[in-house]
């Protein structure tokens, strides 16, 4: 008694559908096989699951043994539109549509679908956490909060962040050797755990979470600068504490004002969180100083809520660095007085280019003594101390 036609299970047909991407696998057809736009029946299934080696030994390209063995094998099945299903089974064209030709069509189509759908719209991102006490307050960056922020726009590279912690409360930012010691620690950890992986091609994208004094964050930005593909996040307090960008507030704009060209001594005020009046700068640098300013249209610790506004700030910082170099020369004595959110501090350091821009000193404000020089980037002193 002859064997019956081999059966194909629904689960096998689903595999064929998935590998074909729901489109006809006849070479260069690619017709979408779900729904009909003419009739408006978008739920219609107009596909045919066609056998390469027929499920019946007496069928097209049938075989006494293989027809039964391959009847339920997804490698022997193709997704076809009606026209091309009829075409390949035309008895007068079986010499054209051989088993080998159809298998090649199937392989080409499935390879193309796999290549197209393998393209990720988001990069795998490595999390970098840098935290330090700020004044009398101990700080910490929660990995869970970082994960939530990153996965809103990227893919986590792994489950382990690079965590750089500046010393605890026993080593305060008021200690004389605090910045030299901790910035040296930051540099060595960054070179070992970030730069090396980046240069070896192990980091596609870097997600940066910093919660530390402004001079340390500016140094962090300088270290990141040549890793172009990085996103800087910032902790927001409202409507709930989070690191993801809310992107829900009114746009924050930035403007710059130039100082006179006569002096080689230049001060750059960064007035975003608060206003900085010129008298406070003059108290530190004297009257013979050219005072520049980057200023936001609103002040406050929580005014920066849109990531696009941070991009606008970054672009303006780059232009101001260029203008200071053009007006005062690369050897200008540049001092920076920041009142800015943490994300702005990191981006400020990222924008600075050692071969194009003057080096600068960073002043940080204290309650007791006003602005005090804390760190230098790109000056002879900072270069020789590395």
Residues 261 and 359 in one domain: yes
Q: Verify that 269 and 182 share a domain, yes or no.
A: no
pLDDT of residue 386: 37
Q: Which of 184, 211, 244 is the last residue of a domain?
A: 244
Which residue range is the domain that position 184 belongs to? 121-244
Residue 80 lies in a domain: yes
- Count: domains in the chain: 3
Q: Is residue 160 located within the same domain as residue 273?
A: no
pTM above 0.75, yes or no: no
Same structural domain for residues 58 and 165? no
Instruction: Looking at the structure, tell me whether residues 99 and 199 fall in a common domain.
Output: no
**Average model confidence (pLDDT) for the chain?**
88
Domain membership flag for residue 5: no
**pLDDT less than 50: residues of the chain:** 1-3, 169, 383-386
Which candidate, 212, 299, 306, places its Cα nearest to that of 250?
306
Residues 157 and 169 in one domain: yes
Q: Is the dihedral angle over the CA atoms 208, 214, 218, 220 positive or is it negative?
A: negative
Residues 6+ apart with CB under 8 A from 265: 285, 286, 288, 289, 290, 332, 333, 335
Whether 34 and 75 map to the same domain: the answer is yes
Residue 22, Cβ density class (10 Å: 0-12 exposed, 13-18 middle, ≥19 buried): middle
CATH number at residue 354: 3.40.1360
Residues 322 and 261 in one domain: yes
Domain boundary among 117, 133, 152: 117
Burial 303-328 (b: 16+ CB within 10 A, else e): bbbbbebbeebbebbbebbeebbeeb
What the block records as the tokens of 61 is 């390209």
pLDDT at residue 141 in the model: 80
H or E element that contains 281: helix 278-285
Reported as a single tens digit per residue, the pLDDT across 253-291 is 999 999 999 899 999 999 999 999 999 999 999 999 999
What burial class does residue 365 get, using C-beta atoms within 10 Å of its C-beta: 0-12 exposed, 13-18 middle, 19+ buried?
Answer: middle
Q: What residues form DSSP beta bridges with 27?
A: none
The model's pLDDT over 119-167, given as tens digits with 9 standing for 90+, comes to: 777 788 999 999 886 655 556 688 888 999 998 778 888 888 889 887 6
Domain end residue (candidates: 117, 145, 161): 117
Q: Do residues 356 and 258 share a domain? A: yes
């Amino acid at each position: 008694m002859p064997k019956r036609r081999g059966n194909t299970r629904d689960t096998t047909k689903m595999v064929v559908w998935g590998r074909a991407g729901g489109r006809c696998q006849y070479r260069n057809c690619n017709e979408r096989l779900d729904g009909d736009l003419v009739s408006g029946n978008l739920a219609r299934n107009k596909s045919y699951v066609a056998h390469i080696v027929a499920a019946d030994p007496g069928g097209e390209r049938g075989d006494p043994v293989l027809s039964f063995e391959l009847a339920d094998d997804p490698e022997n099945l193709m997704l076809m539109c009606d026209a091309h299903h009829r075409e390949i089974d035309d008895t007068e064209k079986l010499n054209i549509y051989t088993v080998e030709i159809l298998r090649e069509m199937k392989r080409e189509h499935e390879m193309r679908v796999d290549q197209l759908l393998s393209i990720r719209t988001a990069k795998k991102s490595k999390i970098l956490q840098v935290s330090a006490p700020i004044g009398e307050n101990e700080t910490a960056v929660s990995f869970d909060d970082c994960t939530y922020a990153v996965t809103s726009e990227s893919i986590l590279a792994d489950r382990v962040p690079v965590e750089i912690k500046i010393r605890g409360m026993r080593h305060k930012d008021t200690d004389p050797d605090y910045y030299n010691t901790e910035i040296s620690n930051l540099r060595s950890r960054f070179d070992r755990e970030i730069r090396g992986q980046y240069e070896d091609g192990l980091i596609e994208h870097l997600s940066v979470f910093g919660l530390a004094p402004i001079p340390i964050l500016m140094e962090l930005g300088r270290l990141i600068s040549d890793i172009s593909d990085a996103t800087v996040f910032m902790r927001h307090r409202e409507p709930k504490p989070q690191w993801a960008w809310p992107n829900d507030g009114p746009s924050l704009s930035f403007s710059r004002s130039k100082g006179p060209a006569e002096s080689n001594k230049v001060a750059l005020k960064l007035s975003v969180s608060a206003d900085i009046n010129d008298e406070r700068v003059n108290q530190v640098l004297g009257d013979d100083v050219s005072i520049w300013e980057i200023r936001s249209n609103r002040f406050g610790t929580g005014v920066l809520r849109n990531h696009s506004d941070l991009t606008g700030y970054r672009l303006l910082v780059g232009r101001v660095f260029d203008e200071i170099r053009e007006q005062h020369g690369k050897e200008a004595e540049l001092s920076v007085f920041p009142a800015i959110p943490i994300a702005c501090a990191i981006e400020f350091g990222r924008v600075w280019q050692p071969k194009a821009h003057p080096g600068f000193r960073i002043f940080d404000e204290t309650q007791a003594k006003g602005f005090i020089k804390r760190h230098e980037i790109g000056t002879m002193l900072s270069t020789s101390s590395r």
